[in-house]
């Protein structure tokens, strides 16, 4: 999609008070907009957050993810390829996030196991019939 | 990457819903209007899942953003990406009981907000696309997407909560404005919660 964004994204900065309308990002605006509205309401904002606020939060989040991914890549490049461990290493100091990520990963594992078990059962049923 | 619920997932969640949840809406509510129910009852350890942890205690946020939720309302919602099954909180019936007690006292507005809090999530597909464009590699695994979505959601929570704190300090009310978010972002940077780039940035 926007492969050019990879190189240009390192120049964008939302630290200054700009809504980043004119960065060289080629991504569409409002990629996460709908989800962000619900999320911001859940975290304490108005039921209808201001559109400019949502846009700013989206820019900040994209920049955050970009910085995080770049740092993870730096770490991962020493090991070979990028892995989940790199992200976990980056947030190691932030205990709530770290614990949450561990939960998410273990939940995902469980679901995978459960799905596998489910399929095995289905096969058994099918073979019985 | 599944974004919709498959029937198996729904069945799994249903079967784990052993304790009956407090219903959404004012069925059992006594119409109590306490804003933040028993913040002292919140523990700090993680236990049950599908719930991002709010960073601050939620000082003046009327959203009762509590932790350790193992119940869930109905599951037929499109934003169930990071919200996987409720876990029969593998340790603690006492925590579950606490959770039930808190949830049963929510007002309708609080329950609505709590529902949004639980169910909202960033789309995995969009996140994957973003990660691919950042790293330039196509090999973004599903766990990585899930983890980054979770981290991002918690970051949004930090931003919004800090912004609310800023608003309280300035004694303002109403929807959050960009200036609050910017101030919140600045504070988070000072706290070191935002990864800093080591690239020298000129002409900032």
Euclidean distance between CA atoms B134 and B113, whole angstroms: 33
pTM equals 0.64
Name every residue whose Cβ is closer than 8 Å to that of residue A26 and which is 6 or more positions away in sequence: A2, A4, A5, A8
A92 inside 8 A of chain B by CB? no
Range from B15-29, B56-70, B93-107 that averages highest in pLDDT: B93-107
Q: What chain A residue is nearest to B204 in terms of C-alpha separation?
A: A16
Q: Which residues of B touch A102 (CB under 8 A)?
A: 46
Angle at A28 between CA A22 and CA A31, to 5 degrees: 120
pLDDT band at A120 (very low <50, low <70, confident <90, very high): confident
Average pLDDT, chain B: 68
pLDDT band at B204 (very low <50, low <70, confident <90, very high): low
Residue-wise pLDDT tens digits, A45-54: 989 899 999 9
Q: Which residue has the higher pLDDT, B61 or A35?
A: A35
Q: Say if CB B53 and CB B67 are below 8 A apart.
A: yes
The predicted model gives B106-116 an average pLDDT of: 92
The predicted model gives B28-45 an average pLDDT of: 38
Return the exposure string of B73-112: e unless at least 16 CB atoms fall within 10 Å of the residue's CB, then b: bebebebbbbbbbbbebeebeebbebbbebbbbbbeebbb
Q: Which of residues 40-69 of A touch B (CB under 8 A)?
A: 40-46, 48-50, 52-53, 56-57, 60-62, 64-69
Q: Which residues of A touch B73 (CB under 8 A)?
A: none
């Amino acid at each position: 999609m926007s492969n050019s964004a990879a190189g240009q994204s390192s120049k964008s900065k939302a630290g200054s008070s700009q809504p980043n309308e004119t960065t060289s990002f080629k991504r569409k605006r409002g990629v996460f907009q709908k989800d962000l509205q619900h999320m911001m309401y859940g975290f304490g904002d108005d039921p209808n957050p201001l559109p400019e606020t949502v846009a700013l939060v989206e820019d900040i989040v994209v920049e955050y993810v970009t910085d995080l991914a770049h740092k993870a890549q730096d770490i991962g490049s020493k090991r070979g390829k990028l892995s989940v461990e790199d992200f976990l290493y980056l947030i190691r100091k932030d205990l709530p996030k770290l614990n949450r990520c561990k939960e998410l990963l273990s939940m995902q594992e469980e679901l995978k196991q459960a799905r596998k078990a489910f399929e095995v059962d289905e096969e058994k049923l099918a073979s019985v019939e | 990457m599944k974004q919709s619920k498959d029937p198996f997932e729904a069945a799994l969640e249903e079967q784990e819903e052993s304790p009956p949840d407090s219903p959404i809406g004012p069925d059992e509510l006594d119409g109590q209007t306490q804003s933040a129910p028993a913040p002292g009852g919140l523990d700090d350890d993680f236990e049950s899942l599908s719930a991002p942890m709010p960073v601050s205690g939620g000082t003046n946020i009327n959203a009762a953003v509590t932790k350790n939720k193992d119940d869930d309302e109905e599951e037929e919602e499109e934003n169930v990406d990071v919200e996987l099954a409720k876990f029969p909180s593998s340790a603690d019936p006492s925590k579950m009981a606490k959770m039930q007690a808190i949830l049963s006292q929510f007002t309708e507005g609080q329950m609505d907000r709590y529902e949004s809090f639980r169910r909202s999530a960033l789309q995995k597909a969009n996140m994957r696309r973003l990660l691919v464009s950042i790293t330039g590699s196509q090999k973004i695994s599903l766990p990585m997407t899930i983890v980054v979505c979770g981290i991002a959601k918690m970051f949004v929570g930090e931003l919004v909560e800090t912004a609310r704190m800023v608003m309280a300090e300035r004694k303002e009310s109403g929807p959050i404005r960009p200036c609050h978010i910017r101030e919140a972002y600045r504070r988070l940077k000072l706290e070191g919660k935002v990864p800093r780039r080591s690239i020298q940035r000129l002409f900032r």
